Chains A and B, each alone.
Chain A
Amino acid sequence: MKWFEYEAPTTLADALAILDANPGACLLAGGTDLLVQLRAGRKQTDLVLDIKRIPELNEISFDSASGLTLGAAVCCAEAYEHPLVKQHYPALAEVASIIGGTQIQGRASIGGNLCNAAPSADAVPLLIALGAVCRVVGIHGERELPVEDFCLAPGQNAMNPGELLVSLRFPAPLPASGAHYLRFIPRNEMDIAVAGVGVSVTLENGAFKAARIALASVAPKPLFVPAAGDSLKGKPVSAESLDAAAQLAKAAASPISDMRGTVEYRRHLCAVLTRRALEAAVRQALGQAQETR
């Protein structure tokens, strides 16, 4: 790796001041993307700014009214081991447990997965499905941004120079709701998704009240498909309604062919994965409905 300086500020204000003075700095969370990119020469910087010692970026807190706040630097293992994450956001705990293997999960953050803006990032479709919102802070103030508006292109996100992602906010789970992320990979772990689908559903009287669907690895960025989720609104839970949503997801996909799969194969996977992810989310929603009764 080329020479760089290193700073590990312990307050958000210090981090923002350093970032303001060094627009070319690279932020370091778990480093499982960044250090690989720096070593391969795909990125260069004079300053690596470690954000893991900032309290706000390590926060995990849950409130049944306002939902979950997940600090951007919290590593996957800490997220999926957290009892409140497991209890209220089981799909989030599950996706954190399939990013890389055990050692990667000890470092990789959900925030880094999002900021890296890879089309294949496994957490992102689920974040979109769950309606997560990014808290982005810069020296001149802060703003909130829905996750679906955050990634722009491979490796490119919507933050301005000098801004950083502090945390993700997840709305409190609704009664009779469920979520699921499903990916297709040639081996069971430690691989890049050929295609992935994140969904969330809310049910009422055997019908869909709301649904959100987003896709991985089939577009230049994680792809939110509002039409697919909206098609389910008011429809009964049935093979027909799930298939119709799956076809809409497939139609929205614009994948490329590469060594992992062809365009046709990926589009086909979108439909299959969407249907299966919806089935799993519905099962979870029904389980939850039974519990609250």
Chain B
Amino acid sequence: MRSKTHIQTTINGEERDFLCEPRQSLLEVLRDTLNLTGTKEGCNDGNCGSCTVTLDGRLVTSCLVLAVEAEGREIGTIEGVAQGNHLHPIQKAFLENAALQCGVCTPGFIVATKVLLEKEPDPSEERIRFFLANNLCRCTGYDKIVQAVQAAALNLRGTKETQA
């Protein structure tokens, strides 16, 4: 019996449900079924990181997750990063530092950077490069991405201090 499976999950804080085939990746379902096309497909084998999302708070490549695995789990995508019409400080930093050209890698970098800076507000350059090694960029040469992450980190630390 080849029937689709009904999956209930939480995406960017909202309860969602969808039908999928067991063989479909989470990436396919996000893009083709749920129309959340911010998450990009690059290599489809775990190397490039353009399909990066969070699964129960952990960074994963959604091309190597089956959509059926999302049952009862929490997923975070690039669409959940901005607050309404307000860009997240990390997104602003990527724009201001010209950390993107074609932009295909950018959602993955931003989702990964957000997790990094939530855990480690003041990472060294080496730490940033190591943490983001699962994200490839064919355009920028990485320096501007690292600078954007540093700028965002500085900004976020400042915001935290003024709040405190």
Contact = CB atoms under 8 A, between A and B. Distances in A.
Contact of A36 (B22, B45, B55, B131): B45
B76 interface: no
A112 B137 CA distance: 28
B69 A3 contact: no
Given A103-B112, A106-B55, A31 B64 contact: yes
Given A106-B58, A189-B130, A35 B64 contact: yes
Contacts, number: 82
Size range of the interface on B?
20 to 34
A9 B95 CA distance: 45
A104 B132 CA distance: 11
Contacts of A189: 130, 133
Given A4-B22, A5-B22, A36-B45, A102 B64 contact: no
Contacts of A36: 45-46, 64
Interface string A267-292: 00000000000000000000000000
Contacts of B58: 75, 77, 106-107
Contacts of B60: 103, 106-107
What's the dominant secondary structure at chain B's contact region?
Answer: mixed
A31 B65 contact: yes
A134 to B, nearest CB: 24
Interface residues of A, number: 31
A39 interface: yes
A52 B130 CA distance: 27
Contact of A102 (B25, B45, B55, B112): B112
A48 to B, nearest CB: 7
B112 A35 contact: no
B66 interface: yes
B130 A188 contact: yes
Interface of B: 2, 5, 21-23, 25, 44-47, 49, 52, 55, 58-61, 64-66, 68-69, 71, 112, 115, 130-135
Contact of A101 (B49, B66, B68, B69): B49
A102 B131 contact: yes
Given A6-B66, A8-B69, A101-B135, 11 more contacts: A3-B2, A3-B22, A4-B23, A5-B22, A8-B68, A101-B49, A103-B46, A103-B49, A103-B59, A106-B59, A106-B60
A52 B49 CA distance: 23
A22 interface: no
B138 to A, nearest CB: 15
Interface string A81-114: 0000000000000000000111110110000000
Q: 9 nearest interchain CB pairs?
A: A101-B134, A6-B22, A106-B58, A189-B133, A1-B23, A101-B133, A103-B134, A106-B60, A103-B61
